[in-house]
Every structure is written in C-alpha cells, then in structure tokens.
Amino acid sequence: MAVMGLLMPVAGLIKVRYRGAKADIDSPFFKLHYRTSATFCFISCLLVTANDLIGSTIDCISGTIPGNVLNTYCWIMSTFSVPSKPGGVHGEDYAYQGVEPLGDPNDRVIHAYYQWVPFVLFFQGLLFYFPHWLWKTFEDRKLDKITSGLRGRTLSLDERKDQCSILVKYVTETFHMHNFYAFKYFICDILNFINVIVQIYMINAFLGGVFMAYGSDVLYWSESASETRTDPMIDVFPRITKCNFYKYGPSGTIERHDAMCVLALNIINEKIYVFLWFWYIILAVMTSLYLLYVLAVVAVPSMRRVMVERNAKFDIKLNRDKALKQKEKMDILMRKAQMGDWFVIFLLSKNLDSILFKEFIVQLADKLKTDA
C-alpha cells in the first residue's frame, strides 16, 4: 500500500484515456518523451526515496562508534571505494569489490552523487515534460475548442454534419494563418531530441564520466568469465564502500576509525541507470528518424497528400467517376493549403473518426473551390 501511495501522484501521466476525452495535439513519438520517459523518471525518483523497500539507505559498521552517528556522518560526508587490482582473489586479497586495503590515498574513488540521485531523476522528468508543457502553452487548447462535440461518436449523423460545417467555416476563415502554429510544434519536437542528447551528457558528467560506456560495459561483463570479470554496476554504484571517521582520543590524539558501509539503495540506482542507458539510445534513434520523417513531410507535398488520403480512408478501388471526384478534392487542397493548414488538417484527422474526417475534407475542398 505504501508503494501504491507513492505512485499515485504520477498516475495521471500513465492513465488510459478514451478517445474523445481530450483533443490529441501531438504525435506518438512526442508521447514517448512526456509520458513514457517522464513517468519512468518520476517513478524512479519515488522508488529511490522509499526507504521501506530496502531498509536503511546506508548502514555502516565500526568497532566503537555508535551506528546512528556513523551512518549519518558517512552519508553526509560521502564514502569511497578502492578500485580492484587485477589478479586479486575475492576473500583473500580483498573482502568485497571496492573494499580492500588503501595504499595510495589518491587511488580511492569518492562516491557522493548517490545523495543527489532522487533530485537528478526528478529534474530529468521535468526536462522530459518541458517540451510538452511548452507546446500546451503555445497551443492554448485551440484544437480542443474547435473539435468540441466532434470527437467520439456522441452525436447523431445530422448533428455531426452540422458541427462539421462549423469546423469547415472556421478552417476556411483562418486559412493560411496556422504557419506559426505549426512552427511552434516543430520547435517543441526538436526540443525533445535536443533534450535526450543533453541528458545523456548531463548524466555522464553527474556519474563522473562513466555513463557513456555504462550499458556496453554491463553487456560485456555479463558475457565474461565469472572468475575474471568485474561488475561495472558495482564500480559505478557500489553496494559496499569504505568510510573513515576521525575523532579525538583520551589524550587528544586524533584516532581514525575505518568503517565499512552497505549502500542498499544502489541496487535500485544501478538498474535504473542501466535501463536509462538503453532507453536513451533507443529514444534518440527513434526521435531522429521521426524528425527525418517530419522533414520529408514538410519538403515533399505528395507525402502530405498520402497522409490525408489514408486518414480519410479514401478508397482507390472506387469506380472511375468517384475516384476522379476524390482526386479533384485532393488537388484543390494541394493547390490551396500551406504547411500550417496541412498541420491543422492532420491534427483534425487524429481527433475525428474516418467518416467525419472524410466529410470534413469534402466540405473543405468544396468551400475552397467556391471561394476561389
């Protein structure tokens, strides 16, 4: 119940929405950023702050220092690990990976970033959501207003045709006035791609330059021989680390107490960032291909025609007279519509059912032909 209570704040991003509840103002690739990616980051942020799932975030042992004091000190001041030396034997040369005698003090690797993981994950979620928020601000519920009463199948056919006539009137009266509207959407689309690339470099800097090769190192480790391999997840997110606590002795001499700390939280952190490594690569590739597709749609008018014909479900197998009429309607749109007009028409196709959208295209073409 505690976990479900934590996840409820992000339920609004992943809840199932029935068609017609709200206007659909973006593409499925856009949703991969502000729904899928942002939701994963927010849920991960909640998981790494849910101490009841794993117990204490840090638990240190030392001979004479009280546990609560040592835990608080090592969490605040950070812990460190010693890079494993080649040829060492677990249980003989070192106790655990990263926990072994320290020779040169410069050899130790300090781990302090785990304190900031929840904040960074939350910030990542905000970055993924920002382009969507920006587009919603630019869009200002325009599509929701003009398609109100047309989404879904709630009206009779005659009422829907009347509503469709009103929509056609709006589109014709605002023809050639939507270019900047489309431009703002494309800018937000590009921001999605820039955000993924920036986040890859941001996380790499946050983790000390190891994130770029993190996923590939994990794959290589999983295929290596068990007696020679070193777990890269433990190198980046160590589960057991060292901590030095200094205090004055009875005679005023500074005493160093060597402590070993268990960081149970890192078993969640390591898996979150392994998933993010693969997801960011997939998302960057998919978004770049989608942007190339958008560029092709902008540059090639015939692609815009095919998109509208497909969404309107124009039947190319009709008899010759009906096929010529459909071609005539599309020819009128090809001559008259600018890029912004095509963008609005495409958004309308996502919110109207195919029958109503076909009726809209027919009425719009007739209206444009009459006004010519």
Of the listed ranges 10-24, 67-81, 354-368, the least confidently predicted one is: 10-24
Q: What is the pLDDT of residue 134?
A: 95
pLDDT tens digits for range 228-261: 556 677 778 888 888 888 888 888 788 888 888 8
Q: DSSP letter at 36?
A: I
Q: What is the mean pLDDT of residues 323-338?
A: 81
Cα separation, 367 vs 357, whole angstroms: 15
pLDDT tens digits for range 267-295: 888 889 999 999 999 999 999 999 999 99
User: Is position 206 within any domain?
Assistant: yes
Using alpha carbons, select from 35, 37, 38 the residue that is nearest to residue 16: 35
Buried b (16+ CB within 10 A) or exposed e, 202-218: bbeebbeeebeebbebb
What is the value of pTM for the model shown? 0.84
Report the SS3 class of residue 99.
Answer: strand
Cα separation, 251 vs 223, whole angstroms: 55
User: Is position 73 within any domain?
Assistant: yes
Binned at pLDDT 50, 70 and 90, residue 203 comes out as very high
Range of the domain at 74: 2-12+25-299
User: Is position 334 within any domain?
Assistant: no
Q: Which residue has the higher pLDDT, 106 or 117?
A: 117
Q: What is the pLDDT of residue 1?
A: 41
Longest CA span, the chain: 106
Q: DSSP letter at 21?
A: S
Using alpha carbons, select from 267, 225, 361, 371 the residue that is nearest to residue 305: 361
Q: pLDDT at residue 66 above 90?
A: no
User: Is position 366 within any domain?
Assistant: no
Contact of 277 with 214, CB cutoff 8 Å: yes
Contact of 258 with 62, CB cutoff 8 Å: yes
User: Is position 103 within any domain?
Assistant: yes
User: Is position 78 within any domain?
Assistant: yes
Of the listed ranges 105-114, 186-195, 211-220, 248-257, the least confidently predicted one is: 105-114
User: Is position 278 within any domain?
Assistant: yes
Residue with tokens 């056609």: 168
Contact of 222 with 247, CB cutoff 8 Å: no
Using alpha carbons, select from 179, 322, 159 the residue that is nearest to residue 167: 159
Q: How many CA atoms lie within 13 A of 8 on its CB side?
A: 6
Six-digit token string for 355: 């029958």
Q: pLDDT at residue 125 above 90?
A: yes
Count of domains forming the chain: 1
CA dihedral 36, 42, 44, 46 (to 10 degrees): -150
Average pLDDT of every residue of the chain: 81
Cα separation, 301 vs 308, whole angstroms: 11
User: Is position 250 within any domain?
Assistant: yes
Contact of 71 with 60, CB cutoff 8 Å: yes
Six-digit token string for 3: 């976990």
Q: Which residue has the higher pLDDT, 141 or 153?
A: 141
- How far, in whole angstroms, is CA 99 from its chain's centroid? 36
